[in-house]
């Protein structure tokens, strides 16, 4: 399958006009770089459904599982904010190597059926994702011209989430049917393969422009970031998207397990839901044709409405599961925009600092989502997570009115 993807990417060649008129076009000169994001995210994808199910197994209930994920995510925020210091000391390339090593270490530690080792491994996993987000954001901005970001982002998102589509069901299946440790082994090996491909692309030789600011104080970076209204908006909207995916990835397998559908069925829902990302190039084209603001508004409203439907039909788990799959389509529409709002707003001379703050949206979502649900699940049944997700998606739709109309 991977070899077929390489062939398709290499032979696809369309002119820039065709890239605008055809939503599924991929620019050949960037296809190899986009494929790197598939390899880079495959280790994470393999553990996407394995991790929450392993946490539930070790913690024995959804409330304590949410609490554990909440505490680990706090460490992830600190790790992300510390990335400018790491990059300043050792450079972008070595910082990327550190993220790879952390991902491999996390796979080893989480394979043990012990809560302490699992918790350390989970923090290492979170750190690896945060570190990779910062360094890879810098690589994207160094390699892709700003005028082509709107075209490249949907393809990057497609490659990224394709790995997250293959991984969830495959990871749970291999762990349950063949060997418990197998998904963790494959995760570590996949990271090594992505590192080899990284060098084959020559990405280690890129000249990356970072800030000349000598300050490495993360508090100053936070204040500088959130003083800029366009960056605040980019952060809030992408965090709403991230919070929904966090809810979907963590609580869908748990919901399936608790309603008697089974863990494999829950992992299949996650895989089918993320499979909608095959339509990401289409939504990127829609954003360019009809505007980013319009697409974001419609996507948030669709997702919120379907979340409410899942809540009201939660006693019918098969129907609710089908609705969850279609709810993921609404969120995939948001993925068509990707991180374009941030890329268009950030100033080149403060890339590393602002990128370090921006990528904390993932960890902030991973803090807010299980933290909020740890409280709610103390008083309400599990379906409350779907109702809450619907509320914040409608709130995000309201904030979309501040996105510039001219943005394409």
Rounded Cα distance between 110 and 101, Å, is 14
| Predicted pLDDT of residue 279 | 82
Contact 271, 397 (CB under 8 A): no
DSSP string, 214-228: ----HHHHHHHHHTS
> Which residues are CB-neighbours of 130 under 8 A, at least 6 positions away?
76, 79, 80, 83, 359, 360, 362, 363
pLDDT per residue over 245-259, tens digit each?
Answer: 889 988 998 899 888
Please give the radius of gyration of the chain, using alpha carbons only, rounded to the nearest integer: 20
Q: Tokens 């590393």 belong to which residue?
A: 352
Q: In this predicted structure, what is the pLDDT of residue 150?
A: 67
> Quick one: how many helices (H) and strands (E) in the chain?
19, 0
The pLDDT tens digits for 272-310 are 887 887 787 788 888 888 888 889 999 999 999 999 999
Query: Residue 174 carries which DSSP code?
Result: I
| pLDDT at residue 108 in the model | 93
For the record, the structure tokens of 120 come out as: 């350390």
Which stretches of the chain score pLDDT less than 70?
Answer: 1-30, 76-77, 80, 150, 207-218, 363, 406-408
Q: Which tokens belong to 5?
A: 């993807």
The pLDDT value recorded for residue 218 is 62
For residue 3, give both structure tokens: 């070899």
Q: Identify the CA nearest to 54 among candidates 178, 184, 244, 167.
A: 184
Residue with tokens 């510390």, as numbered in its chain: 82
Residue closest to 123 by CA, chosen among 71, 56, 182, 176: 71
Smallest CA-to-CA distance from 246 within 389, 398, 103 is with 389
Place of tokens 């609710």: 320
| H helical segments located in 47-82 | 50-59, 62-81
Among left, alpha and beta (phi > 0; psi -120 to 50; other), residue 260 is: left
Domains contained in the chain, CATH given: 26-207+217-402 (1.20.1250.20)
* Dihedral (Cα; 174, 326, 26, 47), 10-degree rounding: -20
Instruction: Compute the distance between CA of residue 311 and CA of residue 324 in angstroms, rounded to an integer.
Output: 10
Q: How many CB atoms lie within 10 A of CB 381?
A: 12
User: Which of 296, 333, 357 is closest to 137 using CA atoms?
Assistant: 357
CA-CA distance, 391 to 207, in Å (whole number)? Answer: 43
pLDDT given at position 280: 76
Distance CA 104, CA 192 (A): 8
Query: Which two three-digit tokens encode residue 331?
Result: 């969120």
Q: So what's the pLDDT on residue 211? A: 52
What's residue 301's pLDDT?
A: 95
Contact 153, 339 (CB under 8 A): yes
Label residue 213 exposed, middle or buried (CB < 10 Å: 0-12, 13-18, 19+): middle
């Amino acid at each position: 399958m991977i070899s077929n993807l390489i062939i398709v990417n290499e032979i696809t060649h369309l002119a820039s006009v065709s890239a605008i008129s055809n939503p599924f076009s991929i620019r050949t000169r960037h296809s190899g770089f986009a494929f790197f994001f598939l390899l880079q995210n495959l280790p994470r994808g393999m553990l996407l459904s394995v991790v929450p199910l392993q946490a539930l197994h070790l913690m024995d209930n959804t409330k304590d599982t949410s609490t554990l994920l909440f505490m680990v995510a706090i460490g992830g925020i600190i790790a992300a904010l510390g990335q400018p210091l790491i990059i300043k000391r050792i450079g972008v390339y070595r910082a990327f190597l550190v993220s790879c090593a952390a991902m491999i270490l996390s796979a080893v530690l989480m394979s043990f059926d012990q809560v302490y080792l699992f918790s350390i491994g989970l923090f290492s996993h979170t750190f690896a994702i945060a570190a990779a987000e910062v360094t890879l954001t810098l690589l994207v901005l160094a390699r892709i011209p700003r005028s082509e970001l709107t075209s490249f982002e949907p393809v990057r998102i497609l490659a990224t989430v394709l790995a997250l589509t293959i991984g969830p069901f495959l990871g749970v299946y291999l762990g349950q049917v063949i060997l418990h440790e197998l998904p963790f082994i494959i995760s570590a090996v996949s990271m090594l393969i992505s590192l080899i491909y990284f060098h084959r692309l020559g990405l280690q030789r890129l000249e990356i422009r970072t800030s000349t600011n000598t300050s490495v104080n993360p508090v100053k970076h936070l204040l500088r970031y959130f003083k800029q209204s366009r960056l605040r908006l980019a952060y809030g909207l992408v965090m709403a998207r991230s919070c929904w995916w966090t809810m979907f990835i963590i609580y869908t397998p748990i919901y399936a397990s608790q309603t008697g559908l089974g863990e494999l069925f829950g992992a299949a829902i996650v895989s089918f839901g993320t499979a909608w990302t095959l339509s990401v190039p289409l939504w990127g084209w829609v954003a360019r044709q009809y505007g980013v603001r319009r697409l974001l508004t419609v996507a948030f409203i669709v997702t919120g409405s379907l979340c409410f439907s899942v809540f009201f039909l939660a006693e019918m788990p098969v129907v609710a599961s089908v609705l969850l799959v279609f709810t993921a389509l609404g969120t995939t529409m948001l993925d068509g925009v990707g991180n374009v709002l941030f890329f268009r707003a950030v100033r080149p001379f403060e890339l590393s600092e602002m990128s370090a703050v921006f990528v904390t949206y993932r960890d902030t979502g991973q803090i807010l989502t299980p933290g909020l649900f740890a409280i709610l699940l103390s008083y309400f049944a599990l379906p409350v997570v779907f109702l809450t997700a619907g509320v914040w998606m409608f709130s995000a739709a309201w904030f979309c009115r501040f996105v510039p109309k001219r943005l394409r």
